[in-house]
Structure 1
Amino acid sequence: MADRVPTRVAVSVALGTLLNPLNSSMIAVGLVALQGEFHVSLATSTWLISAFYLAASVGQPVMGRLADRYGPRRVFTAGLALVGATGILVLFAPGFGWVVAARVLQAIGTSVGFPAGLALIRRLAGGRPPAGTLGVLSAANSASASFGPVLGGVLVAAFGWRGIFAVNIPLAATGLLLARRWLPADPPERPAASVARVPFLDLRGLLGHPALIGVLVLQVAVQCVFYLVFFGLPQWLERIRGYPVAVTGLLMLPIALGTLLIPLAARVVRRYGAPMAMLIGSLGLLGGAVGLLSLGNRSGALSLVAVGALLGLPNAFSNLALQAGLYAAAPAAQTGTAAGLFQTGRYVGAILSTAVLGAVYGGAPSTAGLHRTAFIVAVSAVLLAAAVPLIPVPGGRHRARPASRSVPATSRPVP
């Protein structure tokens, strides 16, 4: 069944969505330059990462709730405007504290994209997940996070550390222009009296949906396993195998290229449902764990690439399955809030992965530590496969609302 979301809407939402993961990963290659200019230590400079993660973790559900209450298009465009303004202001930052403050504002602005975008898509498409559109959003999230350091490296080399902030100015301006032209207008606001009777962030009511809780728990687990590999494998490649940083990046590329399978994952979701896509992702993760167990000090580059390709499967199948499950489980009126909590789960999973990585590697990376990591990944893959029934199957009971005339009639749905 074809998606009911016009292609122009999907592209506009995707552009706003990619800004958060892009900015969360680009900063890594700018830390050294920032340390040199402001004469701060490595530990101090990491506040640029921690502040962004903390602000985004809180900001995602809050921005989602604002989208539910005041309209997704209105909040979506406000977030893009904040991102663009932050990109301009940081160019004149007189001290390191100002840059940290800019990162907090940047995190809040970029936190709008996914929750507001999903709320808008839900209003257009109704209760059945539009697999093609969700695939576009998943690809935007995964690809921008994976290739952020590459783009950041180019920008820092050409323009210095300010380049990784300045690039948000044209991106936000383009996103704002497309949003105002292509996104449908918000419905009329509810009367103030009815809004006042509803708690601003009704987490208790939202978490009263068992299917939604299941999706959020699975999101934390999937992201924890992903980042456990994404953070741990490069350390083993550099410290134990002695690969240069550039070669390590190339060997990690197959994991990132798993996003190329998202169109296939969308087809699976559309035809067989989100649980089947989750099962495929879990089996790929199990195969990757077995591959990690086989790696040693003499493993060739071909073996490393093959293992990375298997570990890239969950990037496409599991992530898209969880997005479709979220779409089906979230109450229609609280889609933005639920989507924000879903994104918070990504940050929680990343934070948990660092604790697990410290436990399995101990003081330093080792092949034995990599194999312990592989064992954890294998157990997680089995548990995720067993949890497939927790992913809800949409009943299609929510009807799509007609799109505003601001969406051109010639805009075709995402296939």
Structure 2
Amino acid sequence: MSPAVHTEQPKPVQTETPSWRLITPLLLGSALNPINSSVIATTLVAVGRAFGVGSAATASLVAALYLASAIGQPAMGKLAEVFGPRRVFLGGLVLVALGGLLGTVAVNMPMLVAARVVLGVGTSAGYPTAMMIIRAWSLERPAGRTGGALGALAIAGQVTAAVGLPLGGLLIAIGGWRVTYVMNLPLAVIGLILTLVWVPRDPRTERARWSSVVRDLDLGGLILFAGTIASLLYVLGNLEHPNWVAVGLCGVLLICFVVWEMWVGKPFIDVRLIVRNRALSGTYVRVAVTFLLNYTILFGLTQWLVESRALSAGQTGLVMLPMSVIAIVISMPFARRNMIRSSLVVTAAAAIVGTTSLLAFTTNTPMWVLVVVPTIFGIMSGLGMIGNQAALYRQAPAENVGVAAGLMRTFMYLGAILSSGLISVSFGDNATDAGLHSIVVALIALALVLAVLTATGLRRLGSSPLPSE
């Protein structure tokens, strides 16, 4: 008999995940933008009364943060590429504290609008820099798993956006609308301390000349991008009464921006890359459509519930609450297992089922139906963010992930603004059943477009299996 041969069993590969110390300040920083975006909704009436202005003036507070965020997210990503993500993350937190302080002491509407702009720019630093820090961590650890960390970023945004409305109401009840600005001060200070202690320093770089820094930042591209986004947001927000001069200006600025970015050596946004990388550009379009659907349901259905279904604000909040809860709960297992394909497929399916179900909504629809159907859109909202964020993380070059992540947030804001135009065109002066159904027809068409974009996007993800799928 031959002696038994003992073969050594291979040791299981120990996978590593980002520590909670690293993730905690990143979650706090990236959550500041959605919480400031949602908490403002509860303060508009109180601010209008305090300064004696109407709804048009108070609406500028919402527009100011939207505009600053849509421009600021990719801009902060670009700054982080030049100066380092940790430095820009810390700088953003300082701006958040300054914006909160300015809003707290504001004595007129211009000061309050300025505070919202500073908050928009400051909070824009959190998400793109967090994505860069996680990407840098993964590059140092090829066997590391970042699905849970990326999912936590997405879920943190959903949680804070969901709690923004009730939190704003609670803060106003306790200390008035100024408290919604005061809250940014302790949050920024805590974020600064945790970042200084737990987030590794950026690699040291040689001190560059000011001229090279300006060239690397591409200030010309940034200015043209800001002008394009500002004019585009104005056009999308006024679809009911289009301003053709603004439409023409937007088109001219867009052309100038594209030509400039294709000519300059180090572009702010690499247009050539986006054109070549069809998977990444497809993700951007998919994000815009997903959040156009999401925000139209969130704001349009809410308006219809109050005006046609005659529900109180409190009752409407309770009807829509399961939508936010489902978005958070369903995101967790998909994010933990990095289920990109599954997330995108279920998102598209939920969009089709949910929008079609809305055709049955009338003023006589039973309350349980009004509660159940919006939960379908909670699935779409939660998994849409998880899947598209993970896809972008996979598709964007490591050196450009900050700008790419910020630009994804810009497309989210474009979807949000376009939803307001769609709602105003469909409803007019009153949110009637007929107006709701006209919105639903448009949403069904968008859901079908999303399904096609998803099918195309899945092919571009490649045939190789993704981790945990």
TM-score, length-scaled by structure 1: 0.89
Q: State the 1:394 CA deviation.
A: 7.8
Q: Deviations over 1:199-246 (max 9, x none)?
A: 361432442422211111111111111111011001111111100010
Judging changes above 3 Å, is the alpha-carbon distance between structure 1 residues 57 and 93 closer, same or farther for their aligned structure 2 residues? same
2:238 counterpart of 1:222: no
Output the CA distance in 2 between the equivalents of 1:110 and 1:172: 10
For the 8 Å contact 1:327–1:335, the answer to whether it is kept is: yes
1:176 paired residue number? 192
Aligned to 2:279: 211
Equivalent-residue separation in structure 2 for 1:105 and 1:290 (angstroms): 41
**Contact map agreement 1:52 1:104 (CA 8 A) in 2:** yes
Contact 2:93 2:122 in 1 (8 A): yes
Opposite residue 199 of structure 1, the aligned amino acid is K
- Checking the alignment, whether the CA contact within 8 Å between 2:98 and 2:118 is kept in structure 1 is no
Residue 166 of structure 1 corresponds to: 182
What 5-or-longer segments of structure 1 have no aligned partner? 397-415
SS of the aligned residue for 2:67 comes to helix
Aligned residue number for residue 126 of structure 2: 113
Give 1:399's aligned residue. none
Matches within 5 A, 1:360-371: 360-371=426-437
- The Cα shift of 1:320 comes to 0.5
* Rg larger for: 2
Residue 351 (structure 2) aligns with: 285
Q: How far is 1:2 from its partner?
A: 5.3
Q: Distance in 1 between matches of 2:148 and 2:451?
A: 24
Which one is further off, 368-377 or 211-220?
368-377
Report the Cα distance in structure 2 between the residues aligned to 1:147 and 1:136, rounded to whole angstroms: 16
Q: 1:282 to 1:44 in 2, by over 3 A?
A: same
Aligned twin of 2:26: 13
SS of aligned partner of 1:132: helix
Distance 1:53 1:299 in 2: 34
- Offset, 1:54: 0.9
Give 1:261-340 correspondences, 5 Å limit.
261-267=330-336, 270=338, 273-340=339-406
Q: Which amino acid aligns with 2:98?
A: A
Report if the CA contact (8 A) 2:30-2:153 is conserved: yes
Structure 1 stretches of 4+ with a deviation exceeding 4 A read: 193-198
Q: State the alpha-carbon separation in 2 of the partners of residues 2 and 294 from structure 1.
A: 49
Match of 1:384 in 2: 450
Answer whether contact 1:288 1:308 (CA < 8 A) is retained: yes
- Answer 1 or 2: higher relative contact order, Cα 8 Å, separation at least 6: 1
CA contact (8 A) 1:4 1:124 kept: no
In the comparison of the two structures, how many residue pairs are matched?
393
Which residue of the other structure, out of 196, 200, 208, is the alignment partner of 1:192?
208
Give the distance between the partners of 1:241 and 1:125, measured in 2 at CA.
Answer: 50
Q: Deviations over 1:239-287 (max 9, x none)?
A: 111000100011011211122211122145x2xx412210111111222
User: Would the alpha carbon gap of residues 191 and 394 (structure 1) be closer, same or farther in structure 2, given more than 3 Å must change?
Assistant: farther
1:259 paired with 2:321, answer no
- Of residues 302, 306, 312, the one that matches 1:238 is 306
The SS at the match of 2:43 is helix
State the SS of the aligned residue for 1:94: coil
Hey, what does 2:48 align to over in structure 1?
35
Q: Percent identity?
A: 35
CA contact (8 A) 1:286 1:382 kept: yes
Contact 1:129-1:324 at 8 Å conserved across structures: no
The DSSP-based 3-state class of the residue aligned with 1:46 is helix
Structure 2 residue 95 is matched with structure 1 residue 82: yes
Preserved CA contact (<8 Å) 2:106 2:112: yes
Residues 1:248 and 2:264 are matched in the alignment: no
Shift of 1:290: 2.5
Q: Distance in 1 between matches of 2:385 and 2:324?
A: 13
1:316, CA displacement in angstroms? 1.5
Cα distance in 2, alignment partners of residues 24 and 348 from structure 1: 14
| Inter-partner Cα distance in structure 1 for 2:308 and 2:449 | 30
> Helix, strand or coil: the match of 1:207?
helix
TM-score (norm 2): 0.79
- After superposition, the CA RMSD in angstroms is 2.1
Q: Return closer, same or farther for 1:379/1:65 CA change in 2, 3 Å cut-off.
A: same
What's the counterpart of residue 228 of structure 2? Answer: none
